[in-house]
């Protein structure tokens, strides 16, 4: 892969998902039985990279794993999905883990232990710099240190590479001034509220908060709204609403990452932001009909078989 032009550089996290399917959360001091459990590879950065790669994108992953039993399995999972693993570094720390609890209504609660993800540094970006420069899009999240996120944004700006920031999980210490040069910021409602300090209690609130983010200097603001779809404010401040793809949800874990991964792939392939949002809505909606995170993401052939009208875009 040394001389290969890559589509997307994902600079972000990896986690081991520990998913318990529960009837209810236990009370304090209570032990209850859960009917099912699954373990898989996750983390927002890894999920987004895997989704894009499954759809056919050439993806470089910059991340850190620990020195435990999870590390090699995580690296092998990236490799099996066709991702460039040269910049997955081992650290003297635990790997990141994410205990996830999913109830019968497919609602989820997640705890993350960042582990080695906390050690991903601006110096790691410099180590991978020559290959990141070959990429057409940089994708970021907030499960790594904010100083590394800021360094990646500056790197993209310096080298003319568009940057997509998914400001998740929401971080109150994120400084908008350091990320406003991103081509895309893609928050959900909670993250939008934290970024702007504004309420998001209804559609008008969401529009006003998105407009404030755009007025602060962000070219494209895409707010993911779950079952309500997505709102896009383009670089001219014009808004467009994209309805979701209606499905019977079984497990919403990782749906936002499916959206980001698919959007990134379609945008890099076509340059069409509106189409990328439309296709990403289909892909994210499709993913929630199956259990798990990465395991719920269809590859290109599977996705096109179910949605043949999307074949020209993925």
d(CA 46, CA 109): 19
Which tokens belong to 100? 């996830």
In DSSP terms, which residues pair with 98 in a beta bridge?
17
Instruction: For residues 166 and 309, give the distance between their C-alpha atoms in angstroms, rounded to a whole number.
Output: 27
Q: Which residues does 146 contact at the CB level (< 8 Å), separation at least 6?
A: 171, 173, 174, 175, 178
Is the distance from CB of 85 to CB of 75 less than 8 angstroms? yes
Helices (H), 216-308: 255-270, 273-287, 300-306
How far apart (Å, rounded) are the C-alpha atoms in residues 146 and 13? 12
Nearby residues of 291 by Cβ (< 8 Å), 6 or more positions away? 19, 21, 38, 102, 250, 251
Q: Are the CB atoms for 169 and 162 separated by under 8 Å? A: no
Strand order in 36-42's β-sheet? 36-42, 15-21, 97-102, 108-110
| Residues belonging to the active site | 257
Determine how many CB atoms are found less than 10 A away from the CB of residue 234. 15
- Strands (E) in the chain, as ranges, are 8-11, 15-21, 36-42, 59-65, 88-90, 97-102, 108-110, 137-140, 163-165, 184-185, 220-224, 230-233, 239-242
């Amino acid at each position: 892969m040394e001389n290969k032009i890559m589509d997307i550089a994902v600079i972000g996290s990896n986690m081991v998902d520990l998913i318990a399917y529960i009837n209810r959360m236990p009370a304090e001091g209570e032990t209850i039985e859960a009917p099912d459990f699954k373990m898989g590879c996750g983390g927002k950065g890894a999920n987004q990279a895997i989704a894009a790669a499954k759809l056919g994108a050439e993806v470089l992953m910059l991340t850190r794993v620990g020195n435990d039993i999870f590390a090699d399995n995580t690296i092998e999972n990236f490799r099996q999905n066709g991702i460039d693993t040269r910049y997955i570094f081992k650290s003297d720390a635990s790997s990141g883990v994410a205990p996830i609890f999913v109830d019968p209504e497919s609602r989820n609660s997640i705890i993350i232990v960042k582990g080695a993800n906390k050690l991903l540094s601006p110096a790691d970006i410099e180590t991978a710099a020559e290959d990141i420069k070959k990429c057409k899009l940089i994708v970021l999240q907030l499960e790594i240190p904010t100083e590394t996120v800021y360094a990646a944004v500056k790197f993209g700006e310096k080298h003319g590479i568009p940057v997509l920031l998914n400001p998740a999980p929401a971080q109150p210490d994120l400084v908008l001034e350091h990320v406003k040069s991103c081509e895309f910021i893609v928050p959900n409602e909670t993250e939008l509220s934290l970024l702007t300090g504004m309420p998001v209690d209804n559609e008008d609130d969401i529009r006003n908060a998105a407009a404030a983010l755009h007025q602060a200097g962000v070219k494209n603001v895409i707010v993911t709204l779950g079952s309500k779809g997505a709102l896009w404010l383009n670089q001219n401040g014009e808004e467009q609403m994209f309805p979701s793809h209606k499905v019977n949800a079984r497990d919403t874990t990782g749906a936002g990452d499916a959206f980001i991964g698919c959007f990134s792939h379609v945008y890099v392939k076509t340059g069409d932001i509106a189409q990328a949002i439309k296709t990403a809505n289909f892909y994210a909606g499709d993913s929630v009909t199956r259990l798990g995170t990465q395991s719920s993401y269809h590859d290109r052939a599977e996705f096109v078989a179910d949605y043949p009208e999307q074949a020209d875009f993925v």
